[in-house]
Structure formats: structure tokens, C-alpha cells
Amino acid sequence: MKTYIKIYGPPILEALKALEKVAVEVSKEFPEVCFYDVLGGMAIPLKETAMDIVGLPAEEAEVYCKKLISKSGWTLGEYDFYFEWTKPPTFQQLQKLIAKIDEALKPLGCKYTVTTK
């Protein structure tokens, strides 16, 4: 299962960066969330992202990098970002993820949709 995010309106780049931070934070709290993707590709090196965003030491960033790499390939289509679940999330897990996304994107003022399928 994946939770897809579609961002409407500016600031799109800032919104993607905010979602990257959510992805790194969520991967610590929910081991079931194993991946995030930006614009259908590995646009930003995951190791550097983990190090920059949460200040992980290089060894830990390497572990996050390996954990966050998806094997499912390119699947974004009309979406801008996604979180991949290793097993179907519970309703409470989805609520927590959506709350974190809301918190991260609220200061930016952009509109977005969240779709899990």
C-alpha cells in the first residue's frame, strides 16, 4: 500500500522538502513506512537527506538510506510524493501520518490531497 500526496499550488519545492522531513521522522516511528519518493525518482540522495534533516551520523544515515529505498519502481503518476507501507496501515497509523503531513505543510499554506491505496 502507498499513501500518495498531490500538492496544489506554491510553494511546491518547500512542500516536498517538508514531506522529506516527515518521511525521515515517520520511518523512525513506523517501521511499516519504508520509503518515500519525490517526483518519481531519487532526486535527492537519501543518505544526505537523513544526515541533513535529522542530523544522523553517517552510519545511521546509511541504514536509513537502505531502509528507505523502494523495490517497487516508478509509480507516482499524477502524484508528487508517496510513502510506501510494508504492510497495510491501521486507521490510527494513517491518522498519525496525516497529522504529521498536516503539521509540516500548514505553515506553507499549500493545498494538497492524501490518497492511500
> Each residue of 4-37: b (16+ CB within 10 Å) or e?
bbbbeeeeeeebbbbbbebbbebbeebebbbbbb
Taking only the tens place, the pLDDT of each residue in 6-65 is: 999 899 889 988 888 888 788 777 766 766 555 444 434 444 555 555 555 555 555 555
Average pLDDT over residues 78-87: 83
Quote the pTM value: 0.70
Report pLDDT for 50. Answer: 53
pLDDT in tens, 101-110: 999 999 999 9
Cross-strand bridge partners of residue 37: 82
**Residue-level pLDDT at 113:** 95
Residue 100: the pLDDT is: 95
